[in-house]
Structure 1
Amino acid sequence: MSDKVKAAIIGPGNIGSDLMIKVLRNAKYLEMGAMVGVDPSSDGLARAERLGIPVTSDGVEGLLKLDVFDKIDVVFDATSAGAHRHHDEVLRAHGVQIIDLTPAAIGPYVIPAINLESENAPNMNMVTCGGQATIPIVAAVSQVAKVHYAEIVASISSKSAGPGTRSNIDEFTETTRAAIEKLGGADRGKAIIVLNPAEPPLIMRDTVFVLSELADQAEVEASIARMVAKVQSYVPGYRLKQRVQFDVIPANAPFNVPKLGPRHGLKTSVFLEVEGAAHYLPSYAGNLDIMTSAALACGDMMARRRIAAGIARGLQELA
Structure 2
Amino acid sequence: MPPHKLKVAIIGPGNIGTDLMIKVMRNSQHLEMGAMVGVDPKSDGLARAERLGIATTAEGIEGLLRLDVFEDIDIVFDATSASAHKHHNALLQAHGVQVIDLTPAAIGPYVIPAINLEAENASNMNMVTCGGQATIPMVAAVSRVAKVHYAEIVASISSKSAGPGTRANIDEFTETTKAAIEKLGGAERGKAIIVLNPAEPPLIMRDSVFVLSELADQALVEASIEKMVAAVKAYVPGYRLKQRVQFDVIAPEHPLNVPRLGPRHGLKTSVYLEVEGAAHYLPSYAGNLDIMTSAALACGDMMAQRRIASGIARGLKETT
Give the TM-score normalised by the residue count of structure 1: 0.96
> What SS is found at the alignment partner of 1:208?
strand
User: How far has the Cα of 1:310 moved from its partner?
Assistant: 1.8
> What SS is found at the alignment partner of 1:45?
helix
Q: 1:109 to 1:311 in 2, by over 3 A?
A: closer
Which residue pairs with 1:196 in the alignment? Answer: 197
Which residue pairs with 2:172 in the alignment? Answer: 171
Which residue pairs with 2:95 in the alignment? Answer: 94
Report 1:1-319 matches (<5 A). Answer: 3-310=4-311
State the distance in 1 between where 2:248 and 2:8 align: 47
The one-letter amino acid of 2:43's match is S
> What SS is found at the alignment partner of 1:291?
helix
> What SS is found at the alignment partner of 1:289?
helix
* Contact map agreement 1:10 1:60 (CA 8 A) in 2: yes
State the distance in 2 between where 1:311 and 1:280 align: 33
* Contact map agreement 1:2 1:307 (CA 8 A) in 2: no
State the distance in 2 between where 1:133 and 1:14 align: 18
Measured against aligned partners, the alpha-carbon deviations of 1:22-48 in whole angstroms (never above 9, x if no partner) come to: 000000000001000111111111110
> What SS is found at the alignment partner of 2:19?
helix
5+ long unaligned stretches in structure 2: 314-320
| CA RMSD between the two structures | 1.2
The one-letter amino acid of 1:117's match is E
User: How far has the Cα of 1:85 moved from its partner?
Assistant: 1.0
User: How far has the Cα of 1:296 moved from its partner?
Assistant: 0.2
User: How far has the Cα of 1:244 moved from its partner?
Assistant: 0.2
Measured against aligned partners, the alpha-carbon deviations of 1:249-303 in whole angstroms (never above 9, x if no partner) come to: 0000000000000000000000000000001111000011100000000000000
Q: 1:144 to 1:68 in 2, by over 3 A?
A: same
* Contact map agreement 1:7 1:75 (CA 8 A) in 2: yes
> What SS is found at the alignment partner of 2:137?
helix
The one-letter amino acid of 1:264's match is H
Measured against aligned partners, the alpha-carbon deviations of 1:191-241 in whole angstroms (never above 9, x if no partner) come to: 001111110000000000000000000000000000000000000000000
Measured against aligned partners, the alpha-carbon deviations of 1:40-90 in whole angstroms (never above 9, x if no partner) come to: 111111110111111111111111111111110100000011111110111
> What SS is found at the alignment partner of 1:4?
strand
Structure possessing the higher relative contact order (Cα contacts under 8 Å, 6 or more residues apart): 2
The one-letter amino acid of 1:259's match is R
State the distance in 2 between where 1:192 and 1:119 align: 27
The one-letter amino acid of 2:233's match is Q
5+ long unaligned stretches in structure 1: 313-319
Measured against aligned partners, the alpha-carbon deviations of 1:155-205 in whole angstroms (never above 9, x if no partner) come to: 001111111111111000000000000000000000001111110000000
Which residue pairs with 1:317 in the alignment? Answer: none
State the distance in 2 between where 1:260 and 1:180 align: 16
Hey, which bits of structure 1, 4+ residues long, moved more than 2 A? none
Give the TM-score normalised by the residue count of structure 2: 0.96
The one-letter amino acid of 2:282's match is L
State the distance in 1 between where 2:94 and 2:273 align: 40
> What SS is found at the alignment partner of 1:278?
coil
Measured against aligned partners, the alpha-carbon deviations of 1:79-104 in whole angstroms (never above 9, x if no partner) come to: 01111111011111001000000001
* Contact map agreement 1:135 1:184 (CA 8 A) in 2: yes
